[in-house]
């Protein structure tokens, strides 16, 4: 019994030591790998910057949901990062050429300020107004700021509906019958 247990233990131990080489099957041997020096000639990305890029990408492209159109995938965007002290700034911009388009979508992209510990400090989606340093965001008695006056140049447009009287629409020909019952059968 002891010999049998030892033999079984030896067989199990030797199976655990066997190297699994399934990953070799997935590789393309026709690709020649460049040297480290050639690869290192590109732009280096430190670990903190890589984590900031991952945090921004995971926030901008949620992993859940239905399949996306080509232009809404990570591959159809370019990522830029610059570090300033303890903050890493990341910009995500659409690359319309990836999907055969000539122009990017409106308001496509985002800018992030991410701390070196991986927290999103600020997110600014394309098309959102930029707040000036020291600008008060609390509500006062003045008019509410809107996206229409984000350029800071002109007066805001009054889009309120007047309360006095009914609204009259101009008579438009709709190619229907002129009878008051709209042509209902009798």
Query: Does 178 reside within a domain?
Result: no
Whether residue 86 lies inside any domain: the answer is yes
What is the reported pLDDT for 86? 93
pTM of the model: 0.55
Structural domain for 76, as ranges: 42-128
> What does the pLDDT average to over 83-106?
91
69's CB contacts (< 8 A; 6+ apart) are 99
- Cα separation values, 103 from 57, 107, 113, 160, Å: 22, 12, 26, 35
Does residue 48 belong to any structural domain of this protein?
yes
- Do 115 and 87 form a contact (C-beta atoms < 8 A)? yes
Per-residue pLDDT at 16: 61
- The answer as to whether 75 is a domain residue is yes
Q: Give the model's pLDDT for residue 117.
A: 94
Check residue 101 and give its pLDDT: 92
Q: Is 116 domain-assigned? A: yes
DSSP symbol at 48: H
Please give the residue that has the higher pLDDT: either 80 or 6. Answer: 80
Q: Is the pLDDT of residue 114 over 80?
A: yes
| Cα–Cα distance for residue pair 135/122, rounded to 1 Å | 16
Average pLDDT of span 27-47 = 84
pLDDT band at 12 (very low <50, low <70, confident <90, very high): low
Q: Residue 184 pLDDT more than 80?
A: no
Whether residue 156 is contained in a domain is answered as: no
- Give the span between the Cα atoms of 114 and 100, in whole angstroms: 32
Residue 10: its pLDDT value, please?
67
3 state SS of 99: helix
Write down the H helix ranges in the chain. 2-17, 22-25, 36-40, 47-60
Total domains, the chain: 1
pLDDT, mean of residues 71-81: 91
pLDDT in tens, 120-172: 999 999 888 887 666 555 545 545 544 444 455 555 555 555 555 555 555 55
Residue 64 belongs to some domain of the structure: yes
85 DSSP β-pair partners? none
With respect to residue 29, please indicate whether it lies within any of the assigned structural domains: no
% of the chain exceeding 70 in pLDDT: 60
pLDDT digits (tens, 9 = 90+) for 44-65: 889 999 999 999 999 998 777 7
Reply yes or no on whether the pLDDT at 107 is more than 90. Answer: no
pLDDT score for 92: 92
């Amino acid at each position: 019994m002891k010999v049998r247990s030892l033999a079984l233990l030896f067989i199990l131990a030797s199976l655990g030591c066997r190297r699994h080489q399934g990953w070799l099957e997935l590789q393309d041997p026709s690709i020649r790998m460049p040297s480290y020096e050639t690869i290192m000639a590109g732009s280096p990305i430190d670990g903190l910057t890589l984590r900031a890029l991952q945090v921004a990408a995971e926030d901008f492209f949620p992993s859940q949901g239905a399949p996306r159109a080509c232009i809404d995938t990570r591959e159809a965007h370019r990522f830029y990062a610059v570090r300033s002290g303890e903050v890493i700034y990341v910009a995500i911009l659409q690359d319309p050429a990836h999907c055969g388009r000539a122009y990017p979508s409106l308001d496509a992209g985002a800018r992030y300020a991410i701390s070196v510990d991986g927290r999103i400090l600020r997110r600014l989606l394309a098309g959102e107004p930029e707040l000036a340093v020291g600008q008060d965001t609390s509500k006062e008695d003045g008019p509410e700021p809107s996206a229409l006056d984000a350029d800071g140049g002109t007066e805001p447009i009054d889009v309120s509906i007047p309360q006095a009287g009914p609204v009259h629409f101009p008579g438009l020909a709709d190619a229907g019958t002129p009878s008051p019952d709209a042509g209902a059968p009798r």
